[in-house]
Chains A and B, each alone.
Chain A
Amino acid sequence: MLLVLSEEYKEHLAFLPKVDPAVVFEFGRIAVEFLKRGINSKVYEGAARKLGFPITTVQHGVEGLMFLLTESSKLMISDIDFKDSVMVLGFSTELNEILLQLYVENHSTIRSTLTQLAPSLPSYHNLEWRLDVQLGSRSMRQQVVPMVTMLLHLTTGNSDNRRCCLQTNPSTLLHLIAVLEAALASMKNNHARRILRNIK
């Protein structure tokens, strides 16, 4: 699968061959850094002053590289496809190699960053449990009621975790285990295996 790059995009990156490959490499490093930690516009000013380019040119260059890296990481294109996609930009072989190296080194980190952006439900983090026996209450002095108290830790997307304190009785616990074991077993049946094998 090849990347489709617009004319406007090509214009934005057109200044890269005019500078030293080391500078392109530096731009690439900055692009990766920005993807990890967010954009810091002061860096653009400094680089523009040093190189004698307008700030917008530098900004377009770095953000163009960021786009190139995120798009190719998103689609998870192969090294060869990446090379072929970049070819359209008409850069030198050395530049293309630098870009490829940048992609190969960073695509997994970029993907994990992108994964966090996807909407998600609260997800399971941990379960703590303890066994309790209720011995008495205000309305009933002598009881022996066995109970399982559980603390369910859930992680929600935006780092605020949720904890649910829950209780159940022993027979329901056994029922829950049976139901969830059936759920795990369904991963191994032919239907699920066929789907997992064929959708790649």
Chain B
Amino acid sequence: MELSDSVQKGLQSIADPSLFDLKSFTVLIDIAFRSLLSAHADHGILADPVLEHIERVLVKQCHAAATTCILEMVKQNADKSTISSCLEDLPFDAERIEIFFKSYQNHKEELEGVLASLGSQLPHINDVSWRLQYHMKNGHVHKVNEPFYLLSLNVENGGLEGSAKDINFSCTVEQLQDLVGKMKDAAKSLEKATQM
């Protein structure tokens, strides 16, 4: 796992018992994980009384290094041996590695979810609503008398700014049967694929 110089320097500081005793180390690591998972990071998250005696700039550097390192590990799906060897080089002692790894295991799944949701995506269908109408006549033709459906696909991330935007369209009964048939085909193939 490659880490930049500034991240390595920050981690080295975290590993240094003269800068961070075990208690402040634990608090810092905990804060690093929490700040990655909270949607709107609290600005005062680093203002923990345990860290008060440590220089502000150093705390910030170390926090940045820890979060970068955590994200990189989750991104690469790092296992225990990779993490251990990486931290040993810095050098973290066995106790600190253990504390770090425990936290990592606790939060890994949640962090994976956050990372997987990043990046560009096609507009995503969340729901569909429908309405059955009966077309009787219009200005040009009378006695049309045909039932039809109005469908509205609720789509997320459809607009430019990622806002929800619906796709509205009409279809006849036959067309709706066709649409449902095709969706069922897809669902059937999906089921088959999961059984492989």
> Which residues of A are interface residues toward B (Cβ below 8 A)?
73-76, 111, 114-115, 117-124, 127-129, 131, 134, 137-143, 145-146, 148-150, 152, 154, 164-170, 172-177, 179-181, 183-184, 186-187, 192, 195-196, 199-200
> What is the CB-to-nearest-CB distance from B112 to chain A, in angstroms, rounded to a whole number?
7
Residues of chain B contacted by A173 (CB below 8 angstroms): 183, 186-187, 190
- For the complex, give the distance between the alpha carbons of A174 and B140 in Å: 40
A166 contacts B125, CB within 8 Å? yes
B186 contacts A167, CB within 8 Å? no
A179 contacts B132, CB within 8 Å? no
Q: Does B56 have its Cβ within 8 Å of any Cβ on chain A?
A: no
Residues of chain A contacted by B167 (CB below 8 angstroms): 152, 164, 166
Q: Does B37 have its Cβ within 8 Å of any Cβ on chain A?
A: no
Q: Which of B15-23, B45-53, B116-124 contacts A (4 or more CB under 8 A)?
A: B116-124
B183 contacts A75, CB within 8 Å? no
Residues of chain B contacted by A167 (CB below 8 angstroms): 121-125
Given contacts A124-B169, A124-B171, contact A177 B123 (CB under 8 A): no
- Checking A76, A127, A200 against B179 with a beta-carbon cut-off of 8 angstroms, the contacting residue is A127
A117 contacts B190, CB within 8 Å? no
A124 contacts B141, CB within 8 Å? no
- Checking B112, B116, B186 against A131 with a beta-carbon cut-off of 8 angstroms, the contacting residue is B186
Residues of chain B contacted by A145 (CB below 8 angstroms): 116
A120 contacts B170, CB within 8 Å? yes
Q: Does B128 have its Cβ within 8 Å of any Cβ on chain A?
A: yes
Q: Does B88 have its Cβ within 8 Å of any Cβ on chain A?
A: no
Residues of chain B contacted by A196 (CB below 8 angstroms): 134, 145, 147
Q: Does B185 have its Cβ within 8 Å of any Cβ on chain A?
A: yes
Q: A149-B122, A200-B145 are in contact. List 20 more A-B contacts (CB 8 A).
A: A74-B140, A123-B175, A124-B175, A127-B178, A139-B115, A139-B119, A140-B75, A140-B118, A142-B76, A143-B116, A165-B122, A166-B153, A167-B124, A167-B125, A168-B125, A175-B127, A176-B127, A177-B187, A179-B127, A180-B183
Residues of chain A contacted by B185 (CB below 8 angstroms): 129
Residues of chain B contacted by A150 (CB below 8 angstroms): 125, 186
